[in-house]
Structure 1
Amino acid sequence: MEIWLWVSIGILIAIIIALLVKIHILQRSVKEIEIAFADRLVTDTNVLIDISSSDKNVRRLANTINGQLRKLRTERRRFQQGDLELKNAVTNISHDLRTPLTALSGYLELLEQEEKSESVNRYIEIIKDRVDILTQLSEELFKYSVIISTKDNITKEQVIINTVLEESIAAFYTVLTERNIVPEIQVSETKVVRMLDRSALSRVFSNLISNVIKYSDGDLKIVLSENGEIAFSNMASGLDEIQVGRLFDRFYTVEAARKSTGLGLTISKTLVEQMKGTISAIYENNRLSIHIFFPDLKE
């Protein structure tokens, strides 16, 4: 009797050990799939998940995930192709617009020198205004096409953010004065130094200040913190949360008259991310705040 008892215990222990081994193998296989799946999501590769487990259920899971990866890659290729076509279209349109607009501006200047009636002069002013708007739009398109086609050409150097920010604000002194906007400026006394592209950073600040001039209700607050965060905030009662959520979208503009391309903040976002920074917009109590952060990467 005791022999059978010990045999039963031995069999039970063997079953438990076998189950524990099975569980361990399953856990290892699932972990293997998890690591491989995470790698495939961030890597542009056609290699699918291949696991060492012989368990049919685990292999079925891997096959299902591989099927979804194939679909994801197909959609990714379609998106990349569409994005490339759009970038090429933007570049071509910007080039095609610049030359005729320059010529048209020249003809208008010549026409202004001729004797004309008052009504003709009025029409010429209207045409000039429209040409100026189109010229501005084409220049913005051209700048954007240059940025997206040279995204890997960021030239980094040690930049004192305090200095670039102060220079950018000073460049808009006249326009801010004309709009009766007196900026409240809080700049860290400590030099905030980061590895950035100085020209790109200056363009980002200029775009943000220009945006404030367009949409501010009359105030502007700029804060540079010691940790590398820059905040631009202003009252903007004409906006809503949905519009603010789309501010960085390509070609989106809150202007019904479409006098801008909606690329200013898109360009800023692109440049900030190329310099390994982050940019975001917050809208609370009718106040728009745009935050930029450049971590100290010690490059």
Structure 2
Amino acid sequence: MILAVAVILLTAKIWSMRHGAARLRKDFGEKLREDTNVGLMMDCQDKEMLKLAADLDRQLLLLRRARLQYELGDQEIKTAVTNISHDLRTPLTAISGYLQLLKSEKMTEQAKEYVGVIENRTEAMRQLTEELFSYSVVTTASQYRKEEEVLLGEILEDSIASMYGALVEKNIHLEVRMPEKKIRVKANRSGLMRVFGNIINNALKYSDGDLLIRLEEDGEVSFSNHARELDEVEAGKLFQRFYTVQNGRESTGLGLSIARALVEQMGGKIWARKEEEWFTIRILLQAVVKNG
């Protein structure tokens, strides 16, 4: 009789601990996703389980503080970059204006060469300033977070049309493959235009003379081109802020970072891969509307 009671009590204790562990695991996952100071819930009255819950509470508090510090620091950096890029615009505009006036004056050939170098460097600084400003705006502004149902193929066609002149100028052979079916996604139209434009602009810098753009029925968009100068390691780093390969001297290293930030804001995925001589960037948007 005593043994039976002991077994029953032990079974009840084990069940209580299992139930408490399951509740603790679920509550811990929810607290990780929420911004709250409410502690973990614990139904089990076992002392060791209560100690475990208390330890997890302390670790959650430390994690929450670290995340808050990171978010504040990240925001401060973005604000500083925005302010700096904005402040640089005015003197760069003035420099460009004076350079134009100087070019209209009589100069020696050597002086013209020097002015040309200054003009090229000034333009590079202007592009970097604009990209810095754009990156800060993209990662903080809410305008790109407003989503609607859009036709993916239509936006892709508009993006290609806007960049077609630059592709022709660079002698890049373009091939586009799209399904007859209209692919609808929930996304931000302006954001997608920016993403596609930045990726095509990347092909202008690194392509060996071709660009294949494909739209699949599942909503995946891929941009492929031959790129002998890129290796597999460099291909994976192109989404990092300010990263450029050695031959990409005209690149600021922010175009693909902006593209990645926008795609992730829209709940999609973007990745790059180098296979043999082909470099491919793929985008997959999650919210594909199946019907229609």
TM-score w.r.t. the length of structure 2 is 0.92
Q: Any stretches of 5+ residues in structure 2 without a counterpart?
A: none
Cα distance in structure 2, aligned partners of 1:268 and 1:116 = 43
Q: Which stretch of the first structure deviates more once superposed, 151-160 or 201-210? A: 151-160
Aligned partner of 1:29: which letter?
G
String of CA shifts for 1:214-235, please: whole Å, max 9, x gaps: 1122222111011111011122
1:98 to 69, 76, 89: 89
Q: Map 1:1-299; keep pairs closer than 5 Å.
A: 10-151=1-142, 154-255=145-246, 259-296=250-287
Cα distance in structure 1, aligned partners of 2:167 and 2:248 = 23
String of CA shifts for 1:180-208, please: whole Å, max 9, x gaps: 32122111111112222222111111100
SS at match of 1:227: coil
Cα distance in structure 2, aligned partners of 1:145 and 1:169 = 25
* CA spacing shift, 1:34–1:191, aligned 2, 3 Å: same
Question: Are the equivalent residues in 2 in contact too, given 1:252–1:263 (CA < 8 A)?
Answer: yes
Deviation for aligned residue 1:51: 1.3
Over the aligned positions, Cα root-mean-square deviation in angstroms equals 2.0
Deviation for aligned residue 1:297: 5.4
Cα distance in structure 1, aligned partners of 2:10 and 2:143 = 53
Cα distance in structure 1, aligned partners of 2:75 and 2:252 = 19
Cα distance in structure 1, aligned partners of 2:173 and 2:288 = 34
SS at match of 1:191: coil
String of CA shifts for 1:98-135, please: whole Å, max 9, x gaps: 11100111111111111111111111111111111111
Question: Are the equivalent residues in 2 in contact too, given 1:151–1:274 (CA < 8 A)?
Answer: no
Question: Are the equivalent residues in 2 in contact too, given 1:236–1:286 (CA < 8 A)?
Answer: yes
SS at match of 2:280: strand
SS at match of 1:207: helix
- Number of matched pairs: 290
Cα distance in structure 2, aligned partners of 1:90 and 1:249 = 16
Cα distance in structure 2, aligned partners of 1:257 and 1:126 = 18
Of all paired residues, the percent bearing the same amino acid is: 45
Deviation for aligned residue 1:254: 2.4
Deviation for aligned residue 1:136: 0.9
Deviation for aligned residue 1:266: 1.2
- Which of these two proteins has the greater Rg computed from alpha carbons? 1
Deviation for aligned residue 1:247: 2.2
Q: Any stretches of 5+ residues in structure 1 without a counterpart?
A: 1-9
Aligned partner of 1:99: which letter?
T
